[in-house]
A and B are shown apart, each in its own frame.
Chain A
Amino acid sequence: MPDHTVWGQCDMMETVAPGAAAARPEGSRPGAVLRRAEARPIIEIDDVVKTFGAFVAVDHVSLTIREGELFALLGGSGCGKTTLLRMLAGFERPTAGRILIGGQDMTDTAPYDRPVNMMFQSYALFPHMTVEANVAFGLRQDRMPRAAIRERVREMLDLVELTPFAKRKPHHLSGGQRQRVALARSLAKHPKVLLLDEPLAALDKKLRERTQLELVGIQERVGTTFVVVTHDQEEAMTMADRVAIMDSGRIIQVDTPHALYEYPNTRFVAEFFGTVNLFEGQLVEDEPDHLLIRCDALANPVYVGHGISAREHATVWIALRPEKLAVSTTRPDAPHNWDRGIVEDIVYLGGISTYHVRLDGGALARVTTQNLERMSAPEITWDDVVYVSWRPDNVVVVTS
């Protein structure tokens, strides 16, 4: 992680690209990140701990979420992400630490006095009320004038395109429609922050992919800060400006999806965020301009085009993304960054193919190639001897 500064610079270079946000609504929206870099912090979580008996659900988490951000908390089940979200909503009280919302200490404030609203995983719609009444519920609690409530409800139903369904009860709606009622209801009070607990988990795959983009669109239109809890790495990548990766109550890394994918700081992040080939090795040479790593599983040493300041002979891991590996039947001339193996499996997905190559050292390497040409027969097939190689600047080295 000493080379974190280097990654940070790459980050900035990436974010300068103008118009990138408009062209890639589903990507990491780097333009948006730059715009929001100067935005005020809206949520400040300061060294929060939450224990249930002997179980530590959230372990000394500190996090700042900026105004207008679409922030994702990503992690497996039981990693503490939902507990953290529930502490932001006020349903759980931290065992230690402070939570500031909009600059005010809200650690001990009750849910009904917080300027945040939550969208529940189960949607939690009121079954005995119409769609309209569901959306109006929060406004009624604020004793808003009737005309203003009617106006706001209309506006919200327009936003989620549910106006024709205003008079229906939730059980007469489809899953996707219910999800949008829940969204409209939680946005109706114009909260400072909207908390979303696995907002798309109950939808089927096709609908989920479409709804991800819809949510991003709605977030951009209303400008509210969104904090999304999800276990789905693709969902986090699609939607979020920044992602915090959590594991057993701790935050492992907070960054843009791009940085998390290309510059993971640990093995955990590399493996959790996308697919990766990991090899354990020893640091043989550590110069400012290059590294040389010897891995037991690889026949040739690994050469990396930058230095890290770690002890010589320290144990490191090299992480290689499948799409950054090349597979070929001709033997490379270079003294490093390649290995030989046998094709064990080929996963053909139309646009891309993944080759599972059993290296001579026994390890399995996954190599993804794009199928750019229409060919009558692929040139590599099962049980072929192939050479897997990679460029020095595509190697990620992690020390923990």
Chain B
Amino acid sequence: MRARPLFLPSALALGLTFLYAPILLLVLFSFNESRLVTVWGGFSLKWYGALFRNEQMLEAALVSLRIATTSATLATVLGTLAALILVRFGRFRGRLLFTGMITAPLVMPEVITGLSLLLLFVSLETTLGWPSGRGVDTIIIAHTTFCTAYVAVVVQSRLGGLDRSVEEAAMDLGARPLKAFLVITLPMLAPALVSGWLLSFTLSLDDLVIASFVAGPASTTLPMVVFSSVRLGVTPEINALATLLVLVATVTILVAAAVLWRQERGQR
């Protein structure tokens, strides 16, 4: 038993190093004076300046944010509906099939999802004339498709853990089913909705493969820009961008965690 106090902290330290050393290194090198990515040449903020003068990068960032916000919102609505059906409608014909279909995008290789969506959009365009060409809209649809699966899973587990009688109590006290859902169930689901939305937002912001398949000429997302510029050689500018993204992600996650923690505490 004497080995335990030593073993656990060292395992933790090793794990944390493995996870975060690369990110720390990246942050460190974003303040590098030198043009060479791996050689330290003194502290500087010049790559951040260069980043904010890079029109292409900024535009791509805006496109990505727009796509992420829209598809996260759509996915939250659709995923919640899917979860409601799975949890509340009991057994129905094709329930197993529906469960499988909802969760399929979680395990489907992205290349296949992207390719099949591309085929769908092309054949839709030739038969119905919509969507005309590929662009932001098609990326939003594609991202909504796979984010819905994540939201459905998150909301489903929360919904399954809710005490059904709370909703029944609302109906017993005179609220019609729709009102009981909006006034009672939805607020109780809020933590799951928030985390589902944030998860979708991050997944969408992060996605390169699917977006590459269904993107059009005027819809270059941030990961696509990063990827194409890295192919020409990693610049410290990319390090600066990555650092900013890490910062945004950290702040978002901390805020979300704080919100969830307060909510959870309020519902115990």
A residues sitting closer than 8 Å to B (CB atoms) are 89-91, 110-112, 117-118, 120-122, 124-128, 137-138, 141-142, 169, 171, 185-186, 189
Q: Can you offer 26 A-B residue contacts whose CB atoms are under 8 A? A: A89-B168, A89-B172, A90-B172, A111-B171, A112-B171, A112-B175, A112-B176, A117-B172, A117-B173, A118-B168, A120-B168, A124-B165, A124-B166, A126-B166, A126-B170, A127-B266, A128-B188, A128-B267, A137-B173, A137-B175, A142-B174, A171-B265, A171-B266, A171-B268, A185-B169, A189-B174
Q: Which residues of A contact B166 (CB under 8 A)?
A: 122, 124-127
Interface residues on B, range: 20 to 34
Among B169, B173, B266, B267, find the residue whose CB has the most chain A CB atoms closer than 10 A.
B173
Q: List B147-205 residues whose CB lies under 8 Å from chain A.
A: 163, 165-166, 168-176, 179, 184, 187-188
By a CB distance below 8 angstroms, the chain B residues around A142 are 174
Interface centre among B171, B175, B179, by most A CB within 10 Å? B171
CB pair B165–A122 under 8 Å, yes or no, is yes
The secondary-structure label for the interface of chain A is loop
Say whether B169 contacts A120, CB under 8 Å.
Answer: yes
Q: Which of B163, B168, B176, B184 contacts A91 (CB 8 A)?
A: B168
Chain B residues near A89 (CB-CB < 8 A): 168, 172
CB of B165 within 8 A of CB of A128, answer no
A138–B163 touching, CB < 8 Å: no
B260 CB to closest chain A CB (Å) equals 14
Complex-state Cα separation, A189 to B175, whole angstroms: 13
Among B166, B172, B176, B265, the most chain A Cβ lie within 10 Å of the Cβ of: B172
Contact of B184 among A90, A111, A126, A171 (CB under 8 A): A126
- Give the interface of B toward A (CB within 8 A): 163, 165-166, 168-176, 179, 184, 187-188, 265-268
Counting residue pairs across A and B whose Cβ atoms lie within 8 Å, the total is: 67
Q: What CA separation (Å) do A171 and B266 show in the bound complex?
A: 7
Residue of B whose beta carbon sits closest to that of A114:
B172
Majority DSSP secondary structure for residues of B touching A: helix
Closest to A142 in B: B174
Cα distance A90–B168 when bound, in Å?
A: 10
* Interface contact B172-A118, CB-CB below 8 Å: yes
Contacts of B187 in A (CB 8 A): 128
Q: Which 3 A-B pairs have the closest CB atoms?
A: A141-B174, A138-B173, A124-B169
Residues of B within 8 A of A141 (CB): 173-175, 179
Chain B residues with CB under 8 Å of A91's CB are 168, 172
Please determine whether A124 and B168 come into contact, CB atoms closer than 8 angstroms.
Answer: yes
Q: Whose C-beta in chain A lies nearest to the C-beta of B167?
A: A124
Q: How far is the CA of A98 from the CA of B187 in the complex (A)?
A: 37
Measured between beta carbons, the chain B residues less than 8 angstroms from A186 are 172-173
Q: Is the CB of A185 within 8 A of B173?
A: yes
> Closest Cβ of chain B: how far from A238's Cβ, in Å?
25
B171 A127 Cβ-Cβ under 8 A:
no
Partner of B266, one of A120, A138, A169: A169
Partner of B267, one of A111, A121, A127: A127
A residues within 8 A CB of B265?
171
Please determine whether A128 and B266 come into contact, CB atoms closer than 8 angstroms: yes
A255 to B133 CA separation, bound complex (whole angstroms): 78
Given contacts A118-B169, A169-B266, A171-B266, contact A124 B163 (CB under 8 A): yes
Contact between B165 and A189, CB atoms less than 8 A apart: no
A195's nearest neighbour on chain B, judged by CB, is B172
